[in-house]
Amino acid sequence: MSRSVAPSATSSVGDPASPGSGLVLQAVYLQHGDAAETVQALDDVHLSVQPGELAAVVGPSGAGKSSLLAVAGGLARPDRGIVTVAGHDMTVASRRLRTSLRQRHVGFVFQSGNLLPALTAVDQLRLAQRIAPRAERAVRDPYELLTEVGMADKANRRPDQLSGGERQRVGIARALVTEPSVLLVDEPTAALDRARSHDIVQLLAREAARRSVAVVMVTHDHDVLQYCDTVYEMIDGKLRADK
């Protein structure tokens, strides 16, 4: 199965908002810059990603994809609009409350895994558990998760003893260890060859479905879109759906 990205006529996409589950963005605007020069990074963005769904976002450099992830994860506050994660408002004024909501409900996976060099794979997961809010700490057995992502036999290796694809697997397991409702994934295949890229995105699709996590993946890799439930294209801050 292969999919192509065909922009729709409007920038309003996704199923109707369903507060209480997954990720919902409604009429979200975000500007960067100052009075002298401003960039409309997000321009009336609507998006709804259900639990268990893997949604891909493609688009040219500077289109607003990272801004979308930042707003979805509560790292940035939009100028206008609504962002909810598992029914929780991520646009709340207090930075402290946003941080707490992010720790409880959002997981991030970065381009290169973003692992700590000195820690073994299993310790990366243990540390994530330790710094999570109390309620999320003991929810998953790190070894069980590493087994699930195919890394059981390398649980005691440090990042420099792992391949790029293996580091990415550990990064995914680490993001899932606190059982987030939403997983935000930035270019997970950028450093991988074709076969490893397919493995990683298939793993994301499987984990999204198995754990009922709403996953948003930013990617330039059109080759892996076949594993995604939905594909969106971002251009000049506007999000459009794949037909």
Give the interface with ligand ATP as residue ranges (CB under 6 A).
32-33, 39, 41, 59, 61-67
**How many CA atoms does the CB half-sphere of 137 hold within 13 Å?**
6
Distance CA 32, CA 114 (A): 25
Give min distance, CB of 78 to ligand ATP, in A: 12
Give min distance, CB of 98 to ligand ATP, in A: 18
Instruction: Select 158 or 222, whichever has its Cβ closest to ligand ATP.
Output: 222
- Nearest Cα neighbor of 45 from 8, 12, 77, 22 is 12
Cβ–Cβ < 8 Å for 214, 181: yes
Give min distance, CB of 223 to ligand ATP, in A: 17
At residue 161, what is the residue type?
Answer: Q
- Nearest Cα neighbor of 193 from 161, 226, 224, 234 is 224
Distance CA 73, CA 91 (A): 10
Give min distance, CB of 174 to ligand ATP, in A: 22
Instruction: Select 33 or 133, whichever has its Cβ closest to ligand ATP.
Output: 33
Instruction: Select 37 or 160, whichever has its Cβ closest to ligand ATP.
Output: 37
Give min distance, CB of 65 to ligand ATP, in A: 4
Instruction: Select 11 or 120, whichever has its Cβ closest to ligand ATP.
Output: 11
Q: Which residues in 32-65 are b (16+ Cβ under 10 Å) and which e? A: eeeeeeeebbbbbbbbbbbbbbbbbbbbeeebbb
Instruction: Select 11 or 67, whichever has its Cβ closest to ligand ATP.
Output: 67
Distance CA 166, CA 146 (A): 10
